[in-house]
Chain A
Amino acid sequence: MHVVSPIRETLVLNGKSYHDVTEDICKQVEGKPTKEWKIVFGISVLVLLYGTAWVFWTWWEGLGVWGLNKTVGWAWDITNFVWWVGIGHAGTLISAVLLLFRQKWRTSINRAAEAMTIFAVICAASFIVMHMGRPWLAYFALPLPNTFGSLWVNFNSPLVWDVFAISTYFSVSCLFWYIGLIPDLATIRDRATGTRKKVYGALAIGWTGGAKAWARYEDVSLILAGLSTPLVLSVHTIVSFDFATSVIPGWHTTIFPPYFVAGAIFSGFAMVQNLMLVTRVVYKLEDYVTLEHISLMNKIITLTGSVVGIAYITEFFIAAYSGVEYEQYAFINRATGPLWWSYWAMMTCNVLSPQLFWFKKVRENILVSFIMAVVVNIGMWFERFVIIVTSLHRDYLPSSWTYFTPRMGDISDYIFSFGFFFTAFFLFSKFLPVINMAEVKSVLKSSSEKYPEKKKVTA
């Protein structure tokens, strides 16, 4: 007996049956790629090729192709890194935290969000490797015994913590995503013939959906969610430590960890919103990703946007209250200095614009949601730019004060990450089911209008 609250919104529309779910989601995996898919995929590959050429040029020529100077030693590289890592937080948040909170609406969006997480973390990691300048020495970041004497990495350094945090996060996210995929891969295997059956059969690793396997599977998912929840919080906390443990005014702040985590969820949900709004139309999944889902995501965007807004104001207040002249100057300089426009872009995009979502009409408007998600991600990029560049460009020594101007290298290497991200996402959306079929089927009874009689019982 399923007991469903009468006020609960339906999550799957148009009376879908279990078989309809399978058909609707498998359709795009089994069919030939559409013309639209070929066009957008072609464009992303071209962008990726352009970006890749520039990345190699960056390594060949050196970091001089970027606009860095002796005062501003971190700029777009670390801005992009933090931005992508932040975006990469939504996937695990949706699949792990919302699983622990038993939020059924996560089932339609968790697969795509987790895929997005993985690709976003790869993009983030690519900036770390890029900014090393000499990527063939990247193994220096690992605790390996070396031929120059047994000098080890410094485990007191947040940069080393970051290596461990990002690589753990990446591998655990891949694992979580793959385990979620297994039952769906088995569904595709059982419908397929020929080569496809072999490929998906190998990927499905012999899943049959036996009751014992399902019981263990549910147990594994729950424990993975329990492990991933502190993990996802630790990752952006450690990213924020990269700044917070330094002695640069504007960086040396205890508020950074929660503030970064809130910002990460904020931008991550905005990116999920963008991707899902496009995917639901392209693959005709409007019955699975409904206005209810969009509205719920917008609510989380408003919540985290407000947390971020409070953090901005707190930072300013603490700087004023601390009585530390350097700290005070760093914040006055952010808002009124030569890079004032980036500060106000951040404030408008992140703090003011999401407040529009208090209105139900705005929250459930698809076009506004899409634009707002883009605006939020622009704002979150500027947040990292503000933190990094405006804190650095006027340092302790006024004679080295300078301005930062990006060069083609900065811009093209940023474009590279978009090329990679979209190429990977389009490949994923063509060859793997974009919605978790097994999980959607499991909420069908309680959250679909197909079983209205069950609703009436409790109404």
Chain B
Amino acid sequence: MADSKYLVGVFDDGDDLLHAVEDIRHQGVKIHEAYTPFAIHGLDKALGYSFPRMGIAAFLFGITGTICAVLLTFWTMGVDWPINVGGKNFFPFPTNIPIVFELTVLLAAFGMSFTFFFMENLGPSSKPIIFDVRSTDDKFVVAIDLAKNKLSETEISKLLKESGASEVNVKEV
């Protein structure tokens, strides 16, 4: 991996970064990724990412939880060992709503979160590429892979400076 050369534009303000990303993408520069200390709303759209669809994962895991909980309560209470309590139904649905609800929430929350970890390749042993350590503190950073761009290093560097970058560094990874 030591052959990739990145140009790292450092901004002092999130809004400046947002506008810069819009500008330089307009000029046809391909951006590797932007790194910010907190979520900048609209940045994903400016970078051309599709709308995050974590809700789909939450729904699928949630519905799995619902089905599992219904099967669990129905099978144990109604099939495997039905208990006669004063002649009532073996499987009264209303009393199983709490269990079904809790298991739905449990699976939806954990399923979605682990899907998120998986999609973002997050894990205790993952080795992230950090373009600028200050990007988790107070700097807003944009990384551009030079190999994937037609424009030269100096041209992109000039564009970044013009759109408000306080520093432009080169980083090889």
State the A residues within 8 Å of B (CB): 1, 17-19, 22, 143, 149-156, 158, 160-161, 164-165, 168, 171-172, 175-176, 179, 182-183, 186-187, 189-191, 202-203, 205-220, 223-224, 227-228, 230-231, 234, 238, 241, 437-439, 441-442, 445
Say yes or no: is B87 at the interface (Cβ < 8 Å to chain A): no
Q: How far is the CB of A215 from chain B (nearest CB, A)?
A: 4
Do the beta carbons of A218 and B76 come within 8 Å of each other?
Answer: no
CB distance from A100 to the nearest CB of B (A): 15
Can you name the residue of chain B whose Cβ is closest to the Cβ of A187? B136
Q: A227 touching B135 by the CB < 8 A rule?
A: no
Distance (whole angstroms) from the CB of A314 to the closest CB of chain B:
24
The 8 closest A-B pairs by CB, nearest first: A206-B126, A18-B138, A215-B44, A152-B76, A219-B52, A161-B98, A442-B38, A19-B138
Residue of B whose beta carbon sits closest to that of A26: B137
> Taking CB as reference atom, which chain A residue is nearest B142?
A211
**B136: which of A153, A158, A161, A186 is its contact (CB, 8 Å)?**
A186
Tell whether B84 is near chain A: CB-to-CB under 8 Å. Answer: no
B39 & A214 in contact (Cβ 8 Å cutoff): yes
> What 1/0 flags go to B104-116 for Cβ under 8 Å of A?
0110111011001
A sample of 12 cross-chain residue pairs with beta-carbon separation below 8 angstroms, ordered by A number, consists of A155-B73, A191-B137, A211-B40, A214-B39, A214-B44, A215-B39, A216-B119, A219-B53, A223-B108, A228-B105, A234-B98, A234-B102
B76 to A171, Cβ gap below 8 A?
no
Q: Is the CB of B49 within 8 A of A438?
A: no
Q: Which of B54, B99, B124 contacts A164 (CB 8 A)?
A: B99
Q: Which of B28-36, B151-159, B164-172 touches A?
A: B28-36
> Which B residues are closer than 8 A to A by beta carbons?
14-15, 33-41, 43-44, 47, 49, 52-55, 58, 72-73, 76-77, 80-81, 83, 85, 92, 95-96, 98-99, 101-103, 105-106, 108-110, 112-113, 116-117, 119-130, 133-138
- Taking each of A17, A155, A228, which has the highest tally of chain B beta carbons within 10 Å of its own beta carbon? A155
Closest B residue by C-beta to A190: B133
**Residues A238 and B98 in contact, CB atoms below 8 Å apart:** yes
Which of B34, B53, B85 has the most chain A CB within a 10 Å cutoff?
A: B34
Q: In the complex, are the beta carbons of A152 and B123 less than 8 A apart?
A: no
A contact patch SS: helix
Given the interface pairs A164-B103, A187-B37, A212-B33, the reply to whether A206 lies near B98 with Cβ below 8 Å is no
Residue from A209, A212, A227 having most chain B Cβ neighbours under 10 A: A209
Q: Which of A151, A212, A216 contacts B81 (CB 8 A)?
A: A151
Q: Given the complex, which residues of A lie within 8 Å of B138, measured CB to CB? A: 17-19, 22, 441
Known: A155-B77, A219-B55, A231-B105. A18 touches B110 (CB 8 A): no
Query: Contact at B35–A168, with CB atoms within 8 Å?
Result: no
Q: Which residues of A contact B14 (CB under 8 A)?
A: 445
Selected contact of B36 from candidates A156, A203, A214, A437, CB within 8 Å: A214
Docked complex Cα distance between A161 and B98 (Å):
6
Assuming the contacts A175-B110, A217-B39, asked whether A230 and B105 have C-beta atoms less than 8 A apart, the reply is: yes
Among residues of A, the one whose C-beta sits closest to the C-beta of B37 is: A441
In the bound complex, what is the Cα–Cα distance between A238 and B138 (angstroms)?
44
CB neighbours (8 Å) of A213 from chain B are: 120, 122
Nearest residue (CB) in A for B55 is A223
- A206-B126, A241-B98 are known; give 17 further A-B pairs, CB within 8 A: A22-B37, A150-B81, A155-B73, A155-B77, A161-B102, A164-B103, A209-B38, A210-B33, A210-B120, A211-B49, A212-B33, A212-B120, A223-B54, A224-B109, A228-B105, A230-B101, A441-B138
Partner of B76, one of A18, A143, A224, A441: A143
Q: What's the Cα separation between A1 and B18 when bound, in Å?
A: 11
Q: Are B72 and A143 in contact (CB under 8 A)?
A: yes
Query: Are B112 and A207 in contact (CB-based, < 8 A)?
Result: no
Contact B38 A168 (CB under 8 A): no
Within the complex, what minimum Cβ distance (angstroms) separates A85 from chain B? 14
Complex CA–CA separation, A402 to B37 (angstroms): 62
Are the CB atoms of B130 and A160 closer together than 8 Å? no
Give chain A nearest CB distance to B151 CB in angstroms.
21
Most buried by A among B36, B43, B134: B36
Are B38 and A438 in contact, with the CB atoms below 8 A?
yes
A208 touches B121 (CB 8 A): no
